[in-house]
Amino acid sequence: MKVAMIAPIAWRTPPRHYGPWEQVTSLLTEGLVKEGLDVTLFATADSITSAKLVSVVPTGYEEDKEADPKVLEYLHISNVFERADEFDIIHNQFDFMPLCYSKLIKTPMVTTIHGFSSEKILPIYKKYNKHVSYVSISNSDRHPDLDYISTIYHGIDINNFPFNPDPKDYLLFFGRMHPDKGAHDAIKIAKFFKMRLFLAGPIQDEIYFKEKVKPYLSEDIKYLGSVGPEKRGEMLSNAICLLHPIYFNEPFGLSVIESLACGTPVLAYNRGSMREIVDESVGILVNSFEEAVEKFGLIYNIKRSDCRKYVEKRFTSQRMVSEYIEVYKRILNSN
């Protein structure tokens, strides 16, 4: 089966630091190649893959401030569709834009919807609802007006996340510095218990970081910047608990799974996909800061080995890869 994989081009595939869409695209691509599929990855030229790499864009537009994202986006996407006939299926990981080319080619297309940046992009998903197969990344992220061929939860390469039964003494926050991700609540929780906290992730909202995070940094509450893949496992595996006090309906939540893989349980605000990806054997779901401090102690009842097993069973990239292959087959059979 010949697959064209359209990566986003905000970052390299896989990303150097942040870049969850590119991360998942990379894991899936490498997994498909391992399963023997003939995959062509359309991504930035500095991407690293065992698939055939096709690039018309040197590097991610988020990594090159001179780049014109709109120009790169158009060059990247048109290049895929101009070669559509070479493939049995096109898998789009790059949001709504590629949908708009899909009726001009014969190759069937599947799109992983990594989340809706706003309601304003819905008209495009609705327009191509019957024409392109949509995969949701959690049931909670499904939009009632759209049809989906499947929900496929992200998987991770569990080898990158070492299990550690014996953590150090800190709490960990892992996510963008943005009100949605709730770093400010993580700080409140750590302060309440007078515990150490590390915060890791890129600064997406400068004002938020300046007003809600920076003033509270101290000897015990440290911001580490964006942490690349090589340090991620170490950071996560040494934490007592991952704090995930989100203020938005998170479509999936990769860092939660990565944390659990290391044996580190999760305290999360119960929004978006959290109830689907965290059960009571591996984490605590709460609805507020007050409930978080009330229930925090339950974290110590969770067995770290259960967290690891939970991910091994449900959230490996192998599982994700097989589910996508299944979807490709269903699409090709129905065509």
What are residue 239's phi and psi, to 5 degrees? -85, 150
Burial class (CB in 10 A: 0-12, 13-18, 19+), 221: buried
Q: Which amino acid is at 318?
A: Q
- In the bound state with its own copies, the residue whose beta carbon lies nearer, of 81 and 87, is 81
The least CB distance from residue 85 to its own copies, in Å, is 11
- In the bound state with its own copies, the residue whose beta carbon lies nearer, of 101 and 289, is 101
The least CB distance from residue 19 to its own copies, in Å, is 20
- In the bound state with its own copies, the residue whose beta carbon lies nearer, of 100 and 217, is 100
- In the bound state with its own copies, the residue whose beta carbon lies nearer, of 61 and 174, is 61
- In the bound state with its own copies, the residue whose beta carbon lies nearer, of 120 and 313, is 120
The pairing of beta strand 239-244 with beta strand 266-269? parallel
Of the candidates 187, 266, 243, 245, the residue with the CA atom closest to the CA atom of residue 220: 187
The least CB distance from residue 13 to its own copies, in Å, is 21
Strands (E), 118-185: 133-136, 150-151, 170-174
Question: Six-digit token pair at 28?
Answer: 């899936």
Burial class (CB in 10 A: 0-12, 13-18, 19+), 169: exposed
Cβ-contact 281, 265 below 8 angstroms: no
Virtual torsion, Cα 103, 108, 109, 110, nearest 10 deg: 140
| Pairwise CA distance, residues 89 & 222, whole Å | 46
The least CB distance from residue 110 to its own copies, in Å, is 18
The least CB distance from residue 22 to its own copies, in Å, is 20
Tokens 């110590």 correspond to 300
Of the candidates 54, 46, 57, the residue with the CA atom closest to the CA atom of residue 14: 46
The least CB distance from residue 84 to its own copies, in Å, is 8
Q: Which stretches of the chain bind its own copies, using CB under 8 A?
A: 67-68, 71, 74-75, 77-78, 81-82, 84, 96-97, 100-101, 103-105, 118, 120-121, 123-124, 127
291 membership: H or E segment, kind and range: helix 289-295
The least CB distance from residue 62 to its own copies, in Å, is 16
Cβ-contact 54, 42 below 8 angstroms: yes
- In the bound state with its own copies, the residue whose beta carbon lies nearer, of 121 and 149, is 121
The least CB distance from residue 249 to its own copies, in Å, is 20
DSSP state, residue 273: T
- In the bound state with its own copies, the residue whose beta carbon lies nearer, of 35 and 64, is 64
- In the bound state with its own copies, the residue whose beta carbon lies nearer, of 78 and 301, is 78
